[in-house]
Amino acid sequence: MVRDRFDEAKQAYEQWGINVDEAFRTLEKTAISVHCWQGDDITGFEGQKRELSGGIDVTGNYPGKARTPVELRQDLDKALSLIPGKHRVNLHAIYAETNGKAVERDELAPEHFVNWVEWAKERGIGLDFNPTLFSHEKAADGLTLSHPDKEIRQFWIRHCIASRKIGAYFGEQLGTPCLTNIWIPDGYKDIPSDRLTPRQRLKDSLDEIFAEPIDEAYNLDSVESKLFGIGSEAYVVGSHEFYLGYALSRNKMYLLDTGHFHPTETISNKISALLLYFDKLALHVSRPVRWDSDHVVVLDDELREIALEIVRNKALGRVMIGLDFFDASINRVAAWVIGTRNMIKALLYALLLPHDYLKQLQEEGRFTERLVLMEEFKTYPFGAVWDEYCAAMGVPVREQWLEEVKKYEVDILLKR
Ligand code: RNT
Ligand code: ZN
């Protein structure tokens, strides 16, 4: 059934010179970085239990959240088995395994991630990394790398350097460079009397962090901007302009999070501009609902537009696509599967458009035809192609995967 519908669909695309098999091959090679923190509401495994802070929030209390590294990896395995293709996993420093020992964040080292590396090796997947500059006493007043207190800044600088070394260890062990992304919560609730000084300090702290040479074959660095957070509504030190300037001038990667801009501002419109000046960029694909709410990614217009911008500009090899959402009100394994399948779906959609022709129409000012085609392609038999891709990659077709998650919930999650 899937096959028949696919054969017919393929013909419809072939009439436009679109090579569906090639689209499959391209998609298969595209790894999405799946964030581990959807699995446990960004709790992590530090011996001493710390409250989530940093102006981000996870709501909901769906049963069955992962409590240990073994459970989290088991849940990730389940999710990855339902997602077509081979992907990457993105870790935070708080997911270190320290054998019950309290290890301060500035003392974290590769040895605390050996189990993750073994796990990734067995599966042939890459790992990405993030220093954790929140949920910690030294971040309690909402400032880290821009803190007025030098001791506090130094602590976080050491943590970031340690994190880059862990990233390099991942890259070296797994044969694929690790993206180590720095995001900090720093900002003020109310109108600052000085916006420059904290930014100056952040710039200096970052320079110290990156002064430590690390082989780019193993570790790539990115910096993530933000507009506001809970408790930093008036001012965020690491704003868009701050990091754009920083990354460009320091030859670092810039990371755009879809939830970190004004509600009507879209990152899809920024990708082409950045591609002109950066060799590579990084994304945190999320879904802001009225604010940076980090809802599970759905196949909406903006997701498609992001995928289109990457694909039509032939930038699949230059844009590192990561996910960043956390919803504790639904089954967490399902959340991963929904969001990741949607990201892949959007890329497949983008791979099945006659981009050269559409570009030509625009160049020739034929805007009626441009709009007609872009609209008509929305209802081309895309679903049949997607179903075939899932079948060919050996994962459940359509909503069949939900049965597996439901079974997993009964057998595993509800017993926790
Ligand atoms: C927060 C940033 C950041 C975090 C993760 C947990 O607003 O988006 O990327 O979500 O690091
Ligand atoms: Zn993010």
Pocket test for ligand 1, best of 33, 89, 129, 224 (most atoms within 8 A of CB): 224
Q: How many residues does the chain have?
A: 416
Q: Residue 201 sits in a domain of what CATH number?
A: 3.20.20.150
DSSP H helical ranges for 66-193: 69-80, 114-123, 150-174
CA distance 117 to 119: 5
**pLDDT score at 91:** 99
Choosing from 138, 252, 260, 295, which is the catalytic residue?
260
Cα–Cα–Cα angle for 281, 285, 287, nearest 5°?
Answer: 150
**pLDDT score at 39:** 98
Query: Whole-structure pTM over 0.85, yes or no?
Result: yes
Closest C-alpha residue for ligand 1 atom 5: 324
Alpha-carbon distance values, 316 to 112, 165, 323, 338, 346 (Å): 32, 27, 15, 21, 13
Percent of the chain surpassing pLDDT 70: 100
**pLDDT score at 380:** 98
**pLDDT score at 48:** 81
Closest C-alpha residue for ligand 1 atom 10: 324
**pLDDT score at 228:** 97
309 ligand 1 Cβ < 6 A: no
Q: What number does the ligand 1 atom closest to the CA of 294 have?
A: 10
From the number of C-beta atoms within 10 Å of its C-beta (0-12, 13-18, 19+), residue 74 rates as: middle
Would residue 119 show up in a list of annotated catalytic residues for this protein? no
| DSSP-assigned beta bridge partners for residue 90 | 35, 128
Choosing from 116, 156, 183, 401, which is the catalytic residue?
183
| CB-CB contact of 178 with 218 (8 Å) | yes
DSSP-derived 3-state class of residue 59: coil
* Token representation of residue 267: 């990152």
Would residue 215 show up in a list of annotated catalytic residues for this protein? no
**Owning domain of residue 187:** 2-415
CA distance 117 to 103: 19
The torsion angles phi and psi of 291, rounded to 5 degrees, stand at -155, -170
224 ligand 1 Cβ < 6 A: yes
Choosing from 292, 309, 327, 387, which is the catalytic residue?
292
| Torsion over CA: 341, 347, 349, 352 (sign) | negative
**Pairing status of strand 291-295 against strand 88-92:** unpaired
Pocket test for ligand 1, best of 257, 267, 325 (most atoms within 8 A of CB): 257
| CB-CB contact of 339 with 87 (8 Å) | no
Give the DSSP letter of residue 229: B
CA distance 130 to 284: 12
**pLDDT score at 400:** 98
* Token representation of residue 182: 């720095």
Give pLDDT < 70 ranges for the chain.
none
Q: Tell me: the pLDDT tens digits for 324-343?
A: 999 999 999 999 999 999 99
| DSSP-assigned beta bridge partners for residue 255 | 224, 282
Q: What domain count does the chain have?
A: 1
| DSSP-assigned beta bridge partners for residue 286 | none
CA distance 359 to 25: 23
